[in-house]
Amino acid sequence: MTERIDAHHHLWHYSTEEYGWIDDSMAALRRDFLTEDLTAEMRQARIDGAITVQARQTIEETHWLLELAASSHAIRGVVGWAPLVENSFPDVLDELMTDVKLKGLRHVVQAEPDDKFLLRNDFNKGIETLRPTGLIYEILIYERHLPYAIQFVDRHPDQAFVLDHIAKPRIRDGVLEPWAAEMRELGRRQNVSCKLSGMVTEADWTGWTLESLRPYLDVAVEAFGPKRLMAGSDWPVCLVACGYTQWFGVLETYFAGFSESERQAVFGGNAAKVYRL
């Protein structure tokens, strides 16, 4: 039986200085979320393993997440942060590569003031340095960044990419285009996989339903197919709109009509393959 993997969650020691993006509307997130909290949620949702993803852009957090992973069977891999645009990156990468639970890197591109950040030469040089390692690069963007993401991916046909949160479409407003067309275009690149995560936080937090999410799930399936989609919780961020077990229940309902092999791929098999678990 294929293990069930949560392909995207976070852990943190909360402080107002380090998590300034957590505003008053997200007050439920203003506390620590640690391994024991995660494993309790996983047990309830029948999840066997998880991929822990960076939330702060510091090398200290990356080392901390790797330390947590080393002492937890539940954490199967870490997607950390490293200074991709800095001259020190090759040396930092060499050090990080000594840890087998490092599976990929991510930069918070969605927060960059330059919408074309993905096309910067120094950033692309960092991705070129990353490629021979076999590590994943995770693309964290909003819908408006998709045209640049397509150009970015085309520069690196041999690099494996994962798109986070289906590129954060405007679910709250019920807007599909141009996001849908751009997702189909990005999905033509076979070196890109996509996480079914972070959707409820782009929707109406108190009014969303599976039916309001369905058009976006349909596009993701059309663009990437069951062989390149991964179920992820985006816990604890999802808690502003949805419980951990609740989210996996939503996805299970949506995929109920798919084949058993397709469901196993989405709920764990693809993550095991992509992250080399």
Fold of 5-274: TIM Barrel (3.20.20)
Going by the DSSP 8-state scheme, the letter that residue 256 receives in this structure is G
The residues facing 139 across adjacent strands are 107, 163
DSSP per residue, 216-253: HHHHHHHHH-GGGEEE---BTGGGGT--HHHHHHHHHH
Q: From first to last of its 277 residues, what are the pLDDT tens digits of the chain?
A: 789 999 999 999 999 888 888 999 999 999 999 999 999 999 999 999 999 999 999 999 999 999 999 999 999 999 999 999 999 999 999 999 999 999 999 999 999 999 999 999 999 999 999 999 999 999 999 999 999 999 999 999 999 999 999 999 999 999 999 999 999 999 999 999 999 999 999 999 999 999 999 999 999 999 999 999 999 999 999 999 999 999 999 999 999 999 999 999 999 999 999 999 9
Element (H, E) at 261: helix 260-264
What pLDDT does residue 275 have? 98
Q: What gap in Å lies between CA 259 and CA 2, rounded to an integer?
A: 14
Angstrom CA distances, 276 to 46, 76, 101, 151, stand at 21, 10, 10, 26
First to last CA, the chain: 15
Phi and psi torsions of 69, nearest 5°: -65, -35
Q: What is the pLDDT of residue 1?
A: 74
The predicted structure's pLDDT at residue 133: 97
Give me the pLDDT at residue 207, please: 97
List the chain domain ranges. 5-274
| Mean per-residue pLDDT over the chain, rounded | 97
- CA Rg, the chain, in Å? 17
User: What pLDDT, on the 0 to 100 scale, is given for residue 158?
Assistant: 97
What integer pLDDT is reported at residue 18 of this predicted model? 86
Q: Are 45 and 83 in contact (CB under 8 A)?
A: no
C-alpha angle with apex 52: 49 to 56, nearest 5 degrees?
170
What is the per-residue pLDDT for 20? 86
Distance CA(225)–CA(109), nearest Å, equals 25
